[in-house]
Amino acid sequence: VVCTCKWVSTILLLQFCCVGCGFCGKVLVWPCEMSHWLNLKTILEELLQRRHEVTILTSSQTFLVDYHKPSAFNFEVIFVSGNQEDAEKSINYFLDLAVNIMPTLSLWESAKLFQNFFLEATEQFEEVCRKAVYNESLMEKLRETKYDVMVIDPVLSCGELVAELLGIPFVNTIRLFMGNTIERYCGQLPVVYLLMCLFSKQAKCVLTLLKSSFSPRRPTTFCESMGKAEIWLIQTYWDFEFPRPYLPNFEFVGGLHCKPAKPLPKEMEDFVQSSGEDGVVVFSLGSMVKNLREERANFIASALAQLPQKVLWRYKGKKPATLGANTRIFDWLPQNDLLGHPKTKAFITHGGTNGIYEAIYHGIPMVGIPMFADQPDNIAHMKAKGAAVEVNFNTMTSADLLSALRTVIYQPSYKENAMRLSRIHHDQPIKPLDRAVFWIEFVMRHKGYHSLDVIGFLLACVATAIFMVTKCCLFSCQKIVKTGKKKKRE
Ligand SMILES: *[C@@H]1O[C@H](CO)[C@@H](O)[C@H](O)[C@H]1NC(C)=O
């Protein structure tokens, strides 16, 4: 019996080894720019750590995904007509539009203007898509590499089309689509949907692409392809979200990039310490907004000057004339380390998901100045949870900003609520980054869900069970025969 047990445990161990560890796969990535990339990079670096091979499919026009530098990532570059400068110009135009122009127009006018910008941008995305899927040698090369999984940021559509053409299972990683339309409709969340015209335009493009060049295949739409995602990694968690229905292949991994604070650079630490009992305020409008109109920068600076706190402001524009002695301007801030500093009292933020999560992680109350994309939605969540006060970027006065800051610093409920969110955030059995990577590896191991290796594993389990039962039967039979013989002799 002992021998049989050893056998069985060896078989079981072998099975778990094949499934559980020592698996190195190939990951193909369809990224997006800006904060999206910074977030995705955390996941990709963890995949590298676990010895997977990571290849990033990027357009030559990118300005964050630096494929020129030597890197542990592999790059497949899609060469397009525009260069990095054009991309930067277009981003700056978008910022000007969203921050300065649109708020001065009526809702209808600004929607029209934004639609125009969006359609133009769609044309650029379409070029990248065409240069990827129509390049037979590129597609063949990707096909031959036999990737195990694709990780896609679907904000720039086309990743799902590449995955479909290559026949690779894929994982979507996003914060949200406007009104959660794509998640609800394409990801089949059980809620009635409204499909936006903006996206139907993209869907049409994808449909035509497929019809014209891959005729043996059944044409597909953007949404149909998106719906084939094995897993959706959503960049929020229940510290941030309100209860809502979702499917089991949605994983909420908000704050996966957050880490405990590291010590600050000496000079910055001295400045922070000089604040004494009053503490400091951290101010950043994110990686995209680099400068403000002079008049606006001036009344922000004059509001900050009236605080007893010291202020660290990430700002690249011209130094405002009204800048107070308590305020220091920096090109760049170690934001996570500052938010984790015991002297930090408040965070003034544009409301990007990454920054909000760093504040939740460290339990810091916020003043939100949302501008575009998911920022207003993010701040609305924080406001509803009692951890933030919102000020309107376009209509605010110095007094508004100052009173918002005083509220979050001196009304204890804001700090308490921020700490409550922080406790919820930290109260998870598995860290968000580990969960994100686990589900990507899960898809790699099981090739989606209904694949042969899963069936193989189940068959092996059945075989083990049959083997054990047979052994047991044989053993009992032998025993019965032996006792029978003994009885006869007696
Ligand atoms: C197609 O892809 C190959 C391999 O990545 C690349 O060398 C080539 O320049 C591409 N062709 C075009 C027309 O973009």
Q: Which domain holds residue 399?
A: 266-426
Residues 388-422: b if buried by 16+ CB within 10 A, e if exposed: bbbbebeebebebbbebbbbbbeeeebbebbbbbb
Of 32-41, 109-118, 376-385, where does the model show the most confidence? 376-385
For range 351-355, the mean pLDDT: 92
Asked if residue 300 and residue 234 are part of one domain, the reply reads: no
Residue nearest (by alpha carbon) to ligand 1 atom 12: 135
Question: In the beta sheet, which residues pair with residue 347?
Answer: 282, 366
Domain identity same for 340 and 220: no
57 has a pLDDT exceeding 90: yes
Is the distance from CB of 445 to CB of 17 less than 8 angstroms? Answer: no
Which residue's CA is the nearest one to ligand 1's atom 2? 138
Domain shared by 132 and 189, yes or no? yes
Average pLDDT score over residue span 82-106:
82
Average pLDDT over residues 120-140: 90
pLDDT at 157 over 50: yes
Return the pLDDT at 455: 66
Q: How confident is the model at residue 162 (pLDDT cuts 50, 70, 90)?
A: very high
Same domain, 364 and 389: yes
Q: What is the mean pLDDT of the chain?
A: 84
The answer to whether residues 79 and 112 belong to one domain is yes
Are 238 and 178 in a shared domain?
A: yes
pLDDT, greater one: 224 or 455:
224
* Domain final residue, candidates 369, 397, 426: 426
Per-residue model confidence (pLDDT) at position 374: 85
Non-local (6+) Cβ contacts of 192 within 8 A are 184
**351 & 242 share domain:** no
Q: What is the CATH number of the domain that holds 419?
A: 3.40.50.2000
Residue 102 included in any domain: yes
| Residue 207: pLDDT over 60 | no
Say if residue 305 is exposed, middle or buried (CB neighbours under 10 Å; 0-12, 13-18, 19+): middle
- pLDDT given for residue 326 in this prediction: 96
pLDDT of residue 62: 77
Least confident of 173-177, 279-283, 358-362: 173-177
pLDDT of residue 264: 96
pLDDT value at residue 436: 96
Q: Determine the Cα–Cα distance for residues 236 and 180; give it in Å rounded to an integer.
A: 13
What 3-state DSSP class applies to 306?
A: coil
What ligand 1 atom has the least distance to the C-alpha of 131? 14
Domain check: are 221 and 324 in the same one? no
End of a domain among 380, 407, 426?
A: 426
Q: What confidence score (pLDDT) does residue 179 get?
A: 62
pTM recorded for the entire structure: 0.79
Name the most confidently modeled range: 35-39, 326-330, 467-471.
Answer: 326-330
156 and 79 both lie in a single domain: yes
Is 275 in the same domain as 241? no
Check residues 391 and 121 and name the one with the higher pLDDT.
391
Q: Where are the beta strands (DSSP E) in 146-203?
A: 149-152, 170-174
Local confidence band at 452 (pLDDT 50, 70, 90 cut-offs):
low
pLDDT at 110: 84
pLDDT at 395 over 60: yes
Burial of 95 (0-12, 13-18, 19+ CB in 10 A): middle
> Looking at ligand 1, which residue's alpha carbon is closest to its atom 5?
138
User: Which of 391, 342, 339 shows the shortest CA–CA distance to 365?
Assistant: 339
Host H or E run for residue 4: helix 2-20
Model confidence band, residue 327 (pLDDT cutoffs 50, 70, 90): very high
Going by alpha carbons, the residue nearest to atom 10 of ligand 1 is 135
> Cα separation of 235 and 374, whole Å?
12
pLDDT score recorded for residue 198:
42
310 strand-pairing partners:
280
Read off the pLDDT of residues 261-287 as tens digits, 9 standing for 90 and up.
Answer: 999 999 999 999 999 999 999 999 887
pLDDT digits (tens, 9 = 90+) for 400-451: 999 999 999 999 999 999 999 999 999 999 999 999 999 999 999 987 655 5
487 occurs within a structural domain: no
pLDDT given at position 21? 43
What is the secondary structure of 207-230 as a DSSP string?
HHHHHHH-TTSPP--HHHHHTT-S
State which ligand 1 atom lies nearest to the alpha carbon of 136: 1
Same domain, 320 and 247: no
Of the pLDDT bands very low, low, confident and very high (cuts 50, 70, 90), residue 215 is very low
Task: Answer yes or no: is 438 within a domain.
Answer: no
For residues 31 and 101, membership in a common domain is answered with: yes
Q: In the chain, how many domains are there?
A: 2
Is the minimum distance from the CB of 28 to ligand 1 under 6 angstroms? Answer: no
Q: Which has the closest alpha carbon to 322: 291, 307, 300? A: 300
Instruction: Say what the pLDDT of residue 188 is.
Output: 64
Mean predicted confidence (pLDDT) in 228-254: 90
Distance 90 CA to ligand 1 centre (A): 25
**One-letter amino acid for residue 438 of the chain:** F
292 burial type by CB count under 10 A (0-12 exposed, 13-18 middle, 19+ buried): buried
